[in-house]
Amino acid sequence: MKFKNISIIIIFFLLINITIFKIYWVPSDSMENTIKSGDFTYVYQLPYLLNYGEPKYDDILVFAYPLEEKYNYVKRLIGKPEDIILISENKLYRNGTEVVEEYINNSYVMEDYGPVTVPEYSYFFMGDNRERSIDSREWGFVDYSLIKGKVISVIWPLERAGEVR
């Protein structure tokens, strides 16, 4: 009887971890120093599986690459539907207001971009490592249906394990 109960608990735990949470490997340095190349991340998927999640600015999300959906990308949410995004003189603006980004390295220069208006049901993403990130500035917007989940932590390597902000 105990074996049956333990088996049920293990199966339940595995089902939750397969559907609600998922582990994603990050193969690039586009999110450094927040997430480094080779990190494994723990991603909360439930809101996006059920189409009720509303991402927030600065969330780090996993989504299917819009130009080839078999690949997953990890980037930071910069713009929501109807937002106007502009990069001018190395500063990011959203709807005319400068966005303070404490998570990026300001030692490099961003090329001017925009203004662009984010379409309905779409989102604008950028990597934290702006110099090395291929993101919405190059391939455009991400439809809501392509979002898979929110990165909540790095789980490997252990010396970097912890919450992601």
Going residue by residue through the chain, which has 165 residues, state the pLDDT in tens, using 9 for 90 and above. 566 667 777 777 766 666 788 889 999 999 998 999 999 999 999 888 888 888 999 999 999 999 999 999 999 999 999 999 999 999 999 999 999 988 887 677 889 998 999 999 999 999 999 888 999 999 999 999 999 999 999 999 988 888 888
Determine contact, residues 142/123, Cβ cutoff 8 Å: yes
**CATH number, domain containing residue 69:** 2.10.109.10
Strands (E), 29-71: 40-44, 60-64
pTM of the model: 0.88
What domain count does the chain have? 1
Query: Is 153 one of the annotated active-site residues of the chain?
Result: no
- Residue whose pair of structure tokens reads 């990190």 in the numeric block: 39
Determine contact, residues 51/158, Cβ cutoff 8 Å: no
128-139 per-residue burial string, b: 16 or more CB within 10 A, e: under 16: bbbeebebbbee
Query: Is 2 one of the annotated active-site residues of the chain?
Result: no
Integer angstrom CA distances of residue 25 from 32, 58, 90, 95, 96? 14, 20, 30, 33, 35
Active-site entry in 30, 122, 133, 136: 30
Q: The domain containing residue 81 runs over which residues?
A: 2-163
Active-site entry in 2, 28, 75, 145: 75
